[in-house]
Every structure is written in C-alpha cells, then in structure tokens.
Structure 1
Amino acid sequence: VGQLLQGLVPTAWSANGKRLLAQFGGQDTTYAVGVNVETGAQKPILEATEQGLVGTALSPDGKTVFGSVGGFEPGPNHDVVSVPFTGGKPKVLVKNALFPSFGS
C-alpha cells in the first residue's frame, strides 16, 4: 500500500458468507474490490481508478454489487449503479444520486 493510502476496508458480506465486498481507499483514491473469502484473492469490481466505484452493498446471493460512480465531490455526475460481483458494465439504477443503502 502506497503513501496516503489506507488499503482495504470491508463494506458488505454476501448472505452465504462466501463473498466479501471491500473498498480500497486513501487520499483521492477509492474503488470497490471483491474478495474471495477462501483464498483471500482480491479483484477490483470495475477498473481500479482514483475515483472508481464506491461499493456499498451486495445482493443476498452475492452476485451483484450496488454502489455509486462519479468521484468524491457531490454534484450532478454521480449515479447509483449495479455491477456483477465478477465485473462487467455498470447498470445505472438512479441518475444524479450516490451512496445507496439497504436495510430495515
């Protein structure tokens, strides 16, 4: 982990406990990472960029990540998206929004 970076912070577990969603972050850097619980292998959900996907939740089966894209600063460039845990094209669920939350 380079200077001014914190490393991985867990954000969500799949209901079956087999998949972990984490966020790699630090100063001006954040992106969602899928972690294989059995092996510890890590893979960015989308391309690892300074202002990548902020993953906040997993579907109960662990196959879908919910989060937001558009960078750090609040504004009209954010979208709430869903992305397959294994990676793929983000599907926009809500435009001009960020940080989805699920729960009761």
Structure 2
Amino acid sequence: ALSTGSQHEFSRVVFVEWPRPGVTAMGLVTGHCHMPDSDTMKIVVYIPTVPNPTSGMLAILDEDQVTETDITVEEAMKVVFSGGIILPDMMLSGLRNGGGRRDPQLSERQEP
C-alpha cells in the first residue's frame, strides 16, 4: 500500500515533463526538501507507474518544473489504476471523439 500510516500523504497532483521532453506524466507531491548543493526549496514528486503504482519513480524538482492541476489525488489514482481509461473531466475537455472515458462518480461531483 502507498501509506505510511502516519499523517504524511500526497498533497496535490501535478504534471511533469517525464521521462523526456515532450512527454507529460502525472505526479503526486509528497513534500519539499533542500538539496545539499542548493539553497532553493525543491518539490518531491512521486510518479506512479501503470498499472502498479507501487513501482513508481521519485523526482526532486524545482517548483517551476511542475504544472499545477485541479485533479484530486483520488481522481489521479483512478487514472493510474485504470491505465488511463478513466480520466477526470478536466482532462477530457476539448476532446470530441475518443480518448478516455468519464467516471460517472467524478462527473456527478458537486463543486463547492
């Protein structure tokens, strides 16, 4: 399981250019840190692999290397476990024919 049993958890979902330029991966922010050779704060991002997110990658990045999203951690995990078949509405906006399927529970979610 992806849990320490403590109060630590994924705080937000971001997009990162990974594993090479032009390819975008979804990542889960796990925290912040300082690298020994830098005075700037870095962001720690866990990039889960499909379909087994426990074998993901860990990236330590500058904040300007991530793109913020409105995707919840729950929505992100549904994307991972479905292999990208189930996508949040914000990732489907602008698509006309094909690519992904809406999760009825996510589509019915009420915004505050």
TM range (shorter): 0.3 to 0.5
TM-score scaled by length of structure 2: 0.32
More helix per residue: 2
More strand per residue: 1
